[in-house]
Structure 1
Amino acid sequence: MFGRNKEATPAQDVVDELAADRAKNDPRAGKGVPTPSRKEQEAARKRPLVPNDRGAAKAADREARREAQLKTRAALDTGDERYLPIRDKGPQRRFARNVVDVRTSLGEFVMFIALAIVVLTLFVPGSIEFQSYIFIGFWAIVVLVAVDAFFFARRLKKRVIAKFGSVDQGVVWYGVIRSLQFRRLRLPKPQVKRGGVVED
């Protein structure tokens, strides 16, 4: 009857050869390892909430904090925007700092005036009338500082609006507080010379 040719290639062998050819042409071929199962991938991604070596984890955390502090300290000297504290970041705050730092304000000397008044009242003998004049003069300076800060805040706000179109919250107050600090004690350190010009 119809005998099967023993030398004919079985159908399964043909399928296997075709599959092998496709595998050779597959760009993913040759990775050498089976694709991990979903369960194995999830297990590989899992990390313990508490590391096994707590001492090493604490040491690494301390080192990371120390490096961040060093970068922040350097940024306060150089004005590097990337590592400044959040309160000092932003183009408007940088502009406000520059506007403050180019001017000389009476407010930055109030601390020294107050110290001089304390020394006068403690170590320089004088009448009650003389001491009252000193205190009146001090409070007159305080009022002048407040007036100067008020008008400076208005000017700063106008300049920020002219340059940026709007004023971020806290920028004007940030500039006023900086104007009351002695120049050499300001952080971030001034990046412009006193008496210079800040472009709008």
Structure 2
Amino acid sequence: MLRRRSQTSVDDTPVPADDPKPQGKGRPTPKRRDAEGSRRRPVTAPKDRKEAYKVARAKQAADRDRARKGMLAGDEKYFPARDRGPAKKFAREWVDSRRLPSQYFLPFSLLILVATWIPWPTEIRNVVLGWVITIGWPLMMFGVLFTSVYVAWKVKREAAAKLPGESMKGVGFYAAMRALQIRKLRFPPPQVLPGGKPVPPKK
């Protein structure tokens, strides 16, 4: 009886209103179903086929824009498979850091085409075409052929020495084809200037 009285006196003791200790969370514990429901976000499905097509096109456009910006910035994960890898990057930088005769092949061909369209007097036209066909064109073709062979051999050799263990398959041809392109039309865009300095970032 003594033990029961002491327990009753302890339990009946009123709790002061300004008790600093919290008496619980102050709110009921939410059910698991309600908690999961609050975390779910409503998914708005397209109303019809036309709207679904519109949403898909918008997503594809955003992906293409992100990939284009990534390629322009030199992010290799956005490059096509043919442009990926340390050996291909070495080939691009080797070609882009030099001014090669083969890169002037397309401008020279365009110049010849324009020259044939100009209504020259007959005598001047014969002289111009004669010089171009007998001297200019053979020299340019020889320069392109020699440069392409040299670039393919040189790049493959230096890449193999600098990157042991990397596959050199297609690296020489890749470098030679890039050397034929006008610098501003090369893709992926050059990341180095002629001379080897990095291309300054665009503002």
Query: TM (normalized to structure 1)?
Result: 0.66
Secondary structure of the structure 2 residue equivalent to 1:104: coil
Distance in 1, matches of 2:62 and 2:81, equals 17
- Whichever residue aligns with residue 160 of structure 1, its letter is A
Instruction: Select the residue among 127, 131, 155 that pairs with 1:133.
Output: 131
Verify the 8 A CA contact 2:152 2:175 in the aligned structure 1: yes
Cα deviation, residue 158, structure 1: 0.3
Aligned to 1:195: 195
Aligned to 1:83: 78
Cα deviation, residue 106, structure 1: 1.0
Distance 1:52 1:87, change over 3 A: farther
Secondary structure of the structure 1 residue equivalent to 2:62: helix
Distance 1:68 1:170, change over 3 A: farther
Distance in 2, matches of 1:168 and 1:52, equals 52
Aligned to 2:159: 160
Distance in 2, matches of 1:32 and 1:114, equals 74
Secondary structure of the structure 1 residue equivalent to 2:169: coil
Gaps of 5+ in 2: 1-30, 34-45, 199-203
Is it true that 1:74 corresponds to 2:73 in the alignment?
Answer: no
Deviations 1:157-198 (A, max 9, x none): 101111222434222211111111111111111111111279
Secondary structure of the structure 1 residue equivalent to 2:194: coil
Verify the 8 A CA contact 2:152 2:171 in the aligned structure 1: no
Distance in 2, matches of 1:127 and 1:54, equals 63
Provide the identity percentage: 32
Cα deviation, residue 130, structure 1: 4.2
Distance in 2, matches of 1:55 and 1:169, equals 46
- Whichever residue aligns with residue 150 of structure 2, its letter is F
Distance in 1, matches of 2:68 and 2:176, equals 23
Which stretch shows the higher mean deviation, 113-122 or 138-147? 113-122
Aligned to 1:25: none
Verify the 8 A CA contact 1:160 1:167 in the aligned structure 2: no
Distance in 1, matches of 2:59 and 2:79, equals 16
Verify the 8 A CA contact 2:102 2:144 in the aligned structure 1: yes
- Pairwise CA RMSD: 2.6
Gaps of 5+ in 1: 1-30, 34-50
Aligned to 1:37: none
- Whichever residue aligns with residue 134 of structure 1, its letter is V
Is it true that 1:62 corresponds to 2:57 in the alignment?
Answer: yes
Distance 1:92 1:135, change over 3 A: same
- Whichever residue aligns with residue 153 of structure 1, its letter is A
Aligned residue pair count? 152
Aligned to 1:11: none
Is it true that 1:185 corresponds to 2:175 in the alignment?
Answer: no
